[in-house]
Structure 1
């Protein structure tokens, strides 16, 4: 075992143990290291600390070599003393030496020396107990040595860690369990305009519902200053006593300015299906209205994309667009996120208070995503905001006037929630002034091909790849699959395929993950069983009806969808209408 700290570095502690033993046992004590240098001593050895006893410490040398406790009852006569220069003149009457070791490594020896007969008799009468006691003290000393080496290693590791974090461009902060700063690199100090004496100060950080391509956005406060940062928080599962979390961030965010940078418009919504064309036209028609809009649709269909398009196509496009996910923020924090609070509003509140999302969105648009997950007590307050166009911060009695457009979205059936008493009817009708439904991906026909190509281009750039060909068989699978997770599921799958692609620039069926293949296979099997049930023979007319329904489910009930369905079924459009009727 290689040790950077040796006995000489902890000689004060070692000498304390020597004095303790001497006082308890009434004998002289010396402690030597593995080079036979005396590190501690009492009595006749007290003034000879630091001496090299190589030419006389033969018993100690044996203990060092074997790692075993030795008892010499007649020093000078024992075979181990044969080469000692003091042989024949030894003043020692008895000697006990116990190795100081850890595992297989011996660091030194404790020596008990009797110079009187009474001392010798006392030791001999309690020899077993004495040896156990000495071995216990030897273990204490070895543990102390190991401990000091670990402290040094930790210090060196921290020094090395600081050198690393100061050499990278991202801001890095490490905090303990109480969220007190342990380390902060130069980049973080520069971004926050702080001084190194901020070490030990307490911070608060929690994730918002906001996300940018650069990373997640966090609310961060330190030294009575509040920031928004783009980055991530890494939990330390290895040694979370001293370092609980590592905060890595690239830059600060100005929420007001960032909210204005909404470059998404109708052209950003990719697709040519008639349902989507109708949706885009509806966005342009209602974008200049201030009426509350409720966007519905399955999860992953792009409801926030529609909300951003409404904002950028309308007269508030140069004003903030503030999004908040009502289902992602803990219930006890949601109210303060929405309305803000004043100084001293509640225990743990930031000293300067906080601006809420409604106030940040003033003169612009606020997007309340997953509104169906909002607790009932907050629904009352949202209703009041919609009716009175004012808010009151938590802990205040001052009204703040709002000039704001509210867009809400949900993947839930709000009417059903109203009937179940889980959503307020009055709020539902207030939100649903302009209803908009985003079609699912399976209703958009060949849009899945356009979206796949667009996503391949996106992840080519992000992953530094060049995918130029999508296998035809893969395209057919994409067109048949129902995509229960909609565009989000498609995007995750395309990112996976691009990431795993090779040098040939092709993504194909064989690259599909097992989970997707299983879902796809199960779906095909279920569809087959629906059309051709095993347990009965059904009429051809019923089979025809089911196939027509399947085609319309895939291509949609719009005129364009029916035309495509009729072509796929091999019948004329008039025939299709007749059979539907």
Structure 2
């Protein structure tokens, strides 16, 4: 039996189907005018040469009319009624167009969407893909003419150029000598390609590592070397002189995409550290001084004092502010998983590992900052590996032999006494000194009571907005009780307290003593009451009242203005009375 025109060039047609499917990530199906499947990818790749006359009703319509067809709702279209798969079709969408040789229709080429995501992508740029199908059909038709070899290659390169220039991945078409026959604009930009480079052979070597199912390659262009994540497609001899197509993402861009998906941390600046006490001002000053340094920082302080807030403020004020900030709580992850979380692994690294591999937090943070919270809870065997990474600025993923250069600043934090842990042989002394290059202590809230009014006001603004409640202010009585509480949970406990009070507030819009949590009311130190029957001098009572107001609202200019307003006197009068007192 005589072969159809498409069967005679079946290897070429199948190669084109593979290339199209790899580049635009949908299934491709090509049939001839006898409804025999000549090429297929995805769910059709093992069903080549099958007779589709019983189910290819849409293709029959295209062959009969010569008009393209688009089926957006398979199973509901009139052409689907007689299909044997009617009611159980697995396709989400189909776009197809005829392949014409002169006035004769010799086959049909179609894009098949098997998932809602593929359908959404196809509909998102429908006209581009429609034109793309028409161009593919014309190109396959041209392949029938063997005598037009040069035109065939030119058409293929034009087609590839149109396709690959529309994607954000780099694409290189290589000849049999390893020279670049074609490259899209993304590849030119990422690999810094020059006209003279195009005449040279380039080196593309798989490292053996893969992450998230994507292979890693080392690409050498002249005297420059790049680490790229990508895929190498081998072309059959029918497409000579073009031998391979390399589709890739730069490692930095690959990791950036993962960081963008996983980064859910808040945007923080120095202004988010609320307070003007001497203790907090010293912290802010130190942040500004050391922000642009590359030295390691160790933040110590009780739980709830805002150590991560300080770390994020350092990142925001540094030259790395537009680079990743990766935080990991070393005490919240089981010891058996912490090493892979920090340093990553390649596929097959150990039993139970993700077969696609994993990028570690250090690698994700490259060029930026990694924040190791609760570093005092890190097991000793990992402390050794962390020390080596800090000293050498290199790491090797678990199961890999590829050395990864690191340019990452480390900020560690702990609420534990590391010196005591060193004496107990639970923390390495050499790691402590490597981490404690720039120490910063987050002061407990009880040591900066003058910051409480400002912190309370900022939290009222935050949670009244979140809960859509019109909270005006906190009463002096309620604020005084907050000033008398010891805050063992520090700012975190205060935040929970204000959130509770806003939930308890009524339509008056005031946070009163009645909205305070029971534990704060019970544990707040009572205000000393003078039960002496003697009459105290008015000047002494005024002095105590003025000093108490300044303590409540803070010694700053803004605090004194608030204090004067509550006392019912002018700011000038307040300053004069304070001078008399001192």
The alignment's TM-score, normalised by the length of structure 2, stands at 0.47
The alignment's TM-score, normalised by the length of structure 1, stands at 0.47
- Greater CA radius of gyration, 1 or 2? 1
